[in-house]
A and B are shown apart, each in its own frame.
Chain A
C-alpha cells in the first residue's frame, strides 16, 4: 500500500488555514496526539477500511466529496477533508480543508461544511499547488 500524501488548504494570500486554525483554537497535547495518530493511519490505510472503521465519516450531506474526522475529548474536534481532490490522486492524497469544533450539534465556524465544499471547489479550479501546501503535523 502506497502511503498517501496529506495536504493543508492555503488561501490566496498563501496562508496555511489549517495550521492557522490549530493555533487559534490552541490544541492541547492530547488533542494533537489524537489528530496526528488518526491522520497517520489515514495515510496508511485503504480508504474503504478507513470509512468502515469510522476513521473518517462521510461524504457529508451538505458538502459532497467532503469527509469528517471526529476526535472526542474535552472538546469535539472536527477536521473536514477530501480525497485528492484531483482525479489522478484520489487514491493517493487527502487535503485538509477546514478545522472546526463541534458543540451542541453546531460547528464553530458555523459554516464549516459549506466552507469545506467551497475550498474543495477552489482547489480544483486553482493550479495544482497554489491552493495547498504539504500538511504540517499538529
Chain B
C-alpha cells in the first residue's frame, strides 16, 4: 500500500534525513492522535482543555503538526483524560517503516479503559460514545480477532453483555447495525466472519438431555436465525441449518416454539439452501398446517421482518398479512401451484386484486423503503429457480413498487423492470419466468 516504502528505506540510510523524518513523524502522530482520540470521545478542544487544566488554545496548538513543543507531563495528562496511558519508548528505524505504512486515523484510535474489551466484556459506553457506537466497536474488535469465542456471540444474541440500547429492538438488530454498511471498509470481510461465527455457534451441540430447550437458548437461536437471514454470506449457514432440521427439529418440533421455528425457516429460505426444504414447501402449500414449520413459503420470506419489536410491527404484520391473503386468494383462483408458472398472469391477477384492496395502498411504506430489504428481495427472488412461489413474490414486488416512492438505493421495481425489458428487447425471454 505504501508505494514509496522502498524509497523511504533507502532515504533513511542518510542519518540527517532519518532523524528529521522521525522527528516530523512523531510531531504529526502526536498532533493527529490527540485530535483523533478527542473526537473519538466526542470532546471539544475546550472540554478536553478543562479535563487537563489547559486553555482551548493550548489544545489547539498541540493538535497542530508543526508544534512539537509538548512535554511528557502534558501528554501524560492528556492520556489520562482519555482514560489511556502514555507510552514513551526508544525504537529502531525499522519500526518507523511499519508505523509509517500503517498510519491512518483509524490506526491512532484507542479505546478508553472502560471500553477496553480485554478488561470489560460487558463494558459501559464511555464519555461521549453512544451505546450503538460502543457496541459497533466491540463487535468489530471481536470480529477482527483471529480466534473468536462463539460463546460471546451467543451472549450478545441473548441480549447479554450489550450496552443499554433500549428494549425497542431485538439483539440481532443491534448486531446487524454494528456491521459495516454497504460501501464501508471491510464490509465483505466482516460479513464473512460473522457468518462463520454464526456457523460455529450453530455447530455447537445443545444439551440434548434437556426435555425442553431453555428460554435463553431459544432466544439466542431466534436471534441467530434472524441475523443469519440478513447476512451476505448466509449461504455458509445452509449446512448447519439443514443438520439442525434433520437431527432435531423434524424429529421433535415441539422442542422449539412456533415463533422460533418460523425464524428458523426464514433463515433456511433466506440462506438459499432451501432445496432440501422443497418437499416441505409442497406440504406447506397444502390446506393443512405443516407439522413442523407453521408458515407458508412466502411468509417465510418475510418472517425476519417480524423481528423488530417497535412501532412498525403492526404495519409489517398488516403488510405481510394482506400480502398472504392476496396470494392465497390468487392461488385459490389459479388452482394448483404448477398452473402458476406464468408470472405475468399472476401479476395481472394480483394487480386486479390489489386494485380492489384499498388496504394495501394505505400501508406504512417505511419498512419497504429500506435498501437492505429491497436488496434481499432481489437477491432472493432473481437467481432462484422458477418456482411458483417466487413468481408470486416477484409479482407482489412489482405491484408494491408502484405504490411507494422507492429510495434511489433500492430501485427495486425499476431494477426488475429494466431486467425484464432488456431481456425482452434481446428476444431472450418471452416471459418473466425466463429470467428466473
Contact = CB atoms under 8 A, between A and B. Distances in A.
Interface in A41-62: 41, 44-46, 49, 52-55
A36 B65 contact: no
B66 A54 contact: yes
A38 B65 contact: yes
- What class of interface size applies to chain A in its complex with B? 20 to 34
Interface stretch (B21-29, B250-258, B326-334): B21-29
A36 B100 CA distance: 12
B8 A46 contact: no
A53 B20 contact: no
Residue among B8, B18, B24, B103 with most chain A CB within 10 A? B24
B106 A1 contact: yes
B11 A36 contact: yes
Contact of B17 (A30, A44, A45): A30
B32 A54 contact: no
B207 interface: no
B1 to A, nearest CB: 6
A137 interface: yes
Secondary structure call for the A interface: helix
Given A29-B20, A49-B36, A52-B35, A37 B11 contact: no
A49 B29 CA distance: 12
Interface string A13-52: 0000000000000001110111011101100111001001
Nearest to A55: B65
B63 interface: yes
Interface of A: 1, 3, 28-30, 32-34, 36-38, 40-41, 44-46, 49, 52-55, 70, 72, 137
Given A30-B17, A33-B17, A52 B63 contact: yes
B104 to A, nearest CB: 5
Contacts, number: 80
Interface string B22-65: 00110010011001100000000000000000000000000111
B36 A55 contact: no
Contact of A41 (B4, B28, B63, B64): B28
A53 B64 CA distance: 4
B276 interface: no
B157 to A, nearest CB: 32
B105 A45 contact: yes
A45 B28 CA distance: 11
Interface string B162-203: 000000000000000000000001000000000000000000
Contacts of B16: 28-30, 33
A28 to B, nearest CB: 8
Contacts of A46: 105
Contacts of A45: 32, 103-105
Given A36-B8, A54-B64, A49 B105 contact: yes
